[in-house]
Amino acid sequence: MSNCTSSVIVALDFDNIDSAKLLVKQLSPEHCRLKVGKEMFTMFGPDWVKYLNGQGFDIFLDLKFHDIPSTVAKAVKAAGQMGVWMVNVHASGGKDMIEAAKEAALKSNRPPLLTAVTVLTSMDERQFSEVYDGSDITGKVLSLASLAQHAGADGVVCSAIEANILRSRLSKDFRLVTPGIRPMGSSKDDQNRIMTPAQAMSAGVDYLVIGRPITKALEPALTLAEINASIK
Ligand SMILES: O=C(O)c1cc(=O)[nH]c(=O)n1[C@@H]1O[C@H](COP(=O)(O)O)[C@@H](O)[C@H]1O
């Protein structure tokens, strides 16, 4: 694992490996971790993860596994063999699925942290009510997070808006990983439940997942440095 001093995880969502490498060269494993998601993993696969690991970065493999327990367990085992630092599943896959994922993670030489996605940060009340009954997003995040904790997950992916309540209800070492982070003045894009980096840290989150505000900035390394300074 790296000696990273920052809570920031930079989401690398690129359709082009050269542009991604150009960005990565400006960053240091001391100042951020990196997230590889569905787009880059589908295009560039385990070699891309190995390349980033080779540059010294901790990697969050964000493939949000959601399937029957045995299938998810095998996918998590494969992620563990790749040497990633964190891997995630959908909490709505249920207790048996999360337990199977955790058991598989623990079989790795260096077990990755297992986090469970609660309610996507892009969801507002309208989108939420189209999928679930009612509009109580926080209640659903809390119940999925409790389920994930009981099933042995190391933490959840949620929005920073829910961090306060999760912190007060769940164990202290349960990691809160929050996308939907937007520095003041930046575009919200397709995110709906958002907070600034400083607000999120004061709410008690452990990790901030930040993509476009950094990757699309004119000077990504400077933007990352400013964000890191704002949460010191
Ligand atoms: O699991 C995730 O990382 C995730 C969960 C979630 O609820 N919301 C969410 O945005 N993400 C991911 O976090 C990243 C956010 O990127 P930006 O919106 O560009 O900052 C994307 O790569 C998303 O796939």
Establish whether 69 is an annotated binding residue: yes
17 burial (CB, 10 Å; 0-12 / 13-18 / 19+) is middle
Establish whether 35 is an annotated binding residue: yes
% the chain with pLDDT above 70: 100
Cα dihedral sign for 222, 122, 175, 165? positive
Amino acid at 144: L
Tell me what the pLDDT averaged over the chain comes to: 98
Examine the pLDDT at 65 and tell me if it is beyond 90: yes
63 neighbors 45 (Cβ within 8 angstroms): no
Residue 71 has a CB neighbour count (10 Å cut-off) of 13
Examine the pLDDT at 226 and tell me if it is beyond 90: yes
% the chain with pLDDT above 90: 99
Catalytic site residue 64?
A: yes
- Assembly ipTM: 0.99
Examine the pLDDT at 1 and tell me if it is beyond 80: no
147 — pLDDT class (breaks 50, 70, 90): very high
Query: May I ask the CATH architecture of the domain 8-230?
Result: Alpha-Beta Barrel (3.20)
Quick one: how far is CA 43 from the chain centroid? 19
The pLDDT tens digits of the residues spanning 201-218 come to 999 999 999 999 999 999
Rounded to the nearest angstrom, the distance between the alpha carbon of 212 and the centre of ligand 1 is: 10
Task: Give the closest residue (by CA) to ligand 1 atom 7.
Answer: 120
Stated pTM of the model:
0.98
Instruction: Pick the catalytic residue from 25, 38, 47, 64.
Output: 64
Examine the pLDDT at 34 and tell me if it is beyond 80: yes
Q: Which residues of 107-143 are buried (b: 16+ CB within 10 A; e: fewer)?
A: ebeeebbbbbbbbbbbbeeeebeeeeeeeebbebbbe
Pocket test for ligand 1, best of 34, 39, 121, 166 (most atoms within 8 A of CB): 121
- Show me where the domains of the chain are located: 8-230
Catalytic site residue 62?
A: yes
